[in-house]
Amino acid sequence: MRLDLTPDQLAALTEAPAVEGDVAARSRPLAGIAALADAGPADLSFLGNPRYAAEVPASRAGAILVPADHPGSPAAGQVFLRVANPTHALALVCSTLEARLWPRPPAGIHPSAVVEPSARVDPSAHVGPGCTLLAGASVGPRAVLEAQCHLGAGASVGEDSWLKPRVTVADYCAVGARCRLQSGAVVGADGFGYEPVGGRIERLPQVGVVVLEDDVEIGANATLDRARFSRTVVGRGTKVDNLVQVAHNVRIGRHCLITAQVGIAGSTVLGDGCVLGGQSGVAGHLRLGDGVRLGAQAGLFEDVPAGGFMNGTPAMPFGLERRVAVLARRLPDLFKKVDSLAAALDSLRKDAP
């Protein structure tokens, strides 16, 4: 889809306090958005991350969102939109595009959807083709269920939530308001609970639920297990990326970022504002305070107080892990040095009277 907005229109949209560039360029409609190095004269670009600042002078972009204090000037025929926060400004532009690309689908239930008589669908909600809603399921005002979503018995989706195609919200689980769930997400699989009984493995029934509070987002093919009893909880405003595993009885606080492929084992409790790096893992029955951070691929096996930043496997405080990682690369030298020390000491002892 074409952007179809002029730099002047974009300046109004992003509330850019300063626009630099000639009038012709400012009133020429742009077609797309592209990274600095890829953009052409018909593209809007932006400097969101200072690491790319050196790419600005060479960029062929028709217009660039730059920080207010960016030192350069636009090239000929190019426009600079000076803004407080280019990333936020670009988000405003993208929001405009998003509203065009994804208009809210019409209210109503697609004739191919299967909705049990006892399910309650608000008249303003959209239930797409191929959806299946079991007994007692409920869909709130203005919620959107795209194609092939499944709500189990007694499952609920709150107002203004948006489920992309092929999402499962299993029996009795609850999705709050303004949540977004990506394709293939599974909310409410059975927890992995077993007991060895004489060489066999016996299943422990998992009769709890999953509760997603308001403003939660869940990534594609992520899996969240129902509690063994009571509730697995994802706190308000928390964002969970693709292919993340949240085990039974986990409680994630508010406004956390759980990056792709993270795994959180059973009964662990996270505070608010935690950030877990990609592919990291957290063992079961742990307590993480508010604002805890965990590096990518780290493996955490101990409680962490508020504000802690851990890294490595097994995870240790970030600063220590950095030193250990640097020294580990110097192990070949260390072994050699110790060998030569031993030799020197030997020869010294031989020489000793």
Q: Tell me: does residue 108 bind its own copies (CB under 8 A).
A: no
Q: Tell me: does residue 241 bind its own copies (CB under 8 A).
A: yes
Count of residues binding its own copies (CB under 8 A)?
120
User: b or e along 318-352 (b: 16 or more beta carbons within 10 Å of the residue's beta carbon)?
Assistant: beebeeeeeeeeeeeeeeeeeeeeeeeeeeeeeee
Strand order in the sheet with 18-20: 18-20, 79-83, 63-67, 43-46, 32-33
Helix (H) or strand (E) segment spanning residue 300: strand 299-300
Instruction: Among 205, 302, 305, 307, indicate the residue that binds its own copies (CB under 8 A).
Output: 205
Report, in Å, the least distance between residue 177 CB and its own copies. Answer: 15
Instruction: Among 107, 239, 287, 309, indicate the residue that binds its own copies (CB under 8 A).
Output: 239
* Contact positions with its own copies (CB under 8 A) in 45-74: 49, 51
β partners of residue 109: 127
**Site mask for its own copies (CB under 8 A), range 2-31, x = bound:** ------------------------------
Residue with smaller CB distance to its own copies, 26 or 178: 178
Catalytic residue among 88, 150, 248, 285: 248
Dist CA 313 CA 319 (whole Å): 14
* Contact positions with its own copies (CB under 8 A) in 280-319: 281, 283, 285, 296-297, 299, 301, 312-314, 316
Sign of the Cα pseudo-torsion (95, 260, 228, 236, in order): negative
Q: Tell me: does residue 1 bind its own copies (CB under 8 A).
A: yes
Residue with smaller CB distance to its own copies, 22 or 138: 138
Instruction: Among 6, 59, 138, 223, indicate the residue that binds its own copies (CB under 8 A).
Output: 223
Dist CA 235 CA 237 (whole Å): 6
Do residues 170 and 189 touch, judged by C-beta distance below 8 A? yes
Write out the two tokens for 182: 């990506």
Selected range binding its own copies among 12-20, 57-65, 119-127, 343-351, rule: CB under 8 A: 343-351
Residue with smaller CB distance to its own copies, 31 or 122: 31
Instruction: Among 28, 142, 150, 293, indicate the residue that binds its own copies (CB under 8 A).
Output: 150
Residue among 53, 43, 39 nearest 86 (CA): 53
Selected range binding its own copies among 4-12, 76-84, 159-167, 302-310, rule: CB under 8 A: 159-167
* Contact positions with its own copies (CB under 8 A) in 72-101: 87-88, 90-91, 94-95, 97-98, 101
Residue with smaller CB distance to its own copies, 22 or 202: 202
Q: Which residues contact 251 (CB under 8 A, 6 or more apart)?
A: 231, 232, 233, 235, 268, 269, 270
First to last CA, the chain: 89
Torsion angle, CA of 224/229/234/240, rounded to 10 degrees?
-10
> In angstroms, what CA-CA distances link 253 with 132, 236, 310?
31, 7, 18
**Site mask for its own copies (CB under 8 A), range 112-131, x = bound:** x-x-------------xxx-
- DSSP SS3 for 64: strand
Selected range binding its own copies among 13-21, 22-30, 71-79, 108-116, rule: CB under 8 A: 108-116
Instruction: Among 5, 19, 30, 34, indicate the residue that binds its own copies (CB under 8 A).
Output: 34
Q: Tell me: does residue 250 bind its own copies (CB under 8 A).
A: no
Establish whether 248 is a catalytic residue: yes
Q: Tell me: does residue 324 bind its own copies (CB under 8 A).
A: yes
Dist CA 118 CA 208 (whole Å): 22
Dist CA 86 CA 196 (whole Å): 56
Q: Tell me: does residue 158 bind its own copies (CB under 8 A).
A: no
Q: Tell me: does residue 41 bind its own copies (CB under 8 A).
A: no
Catalytic amino acids? 248
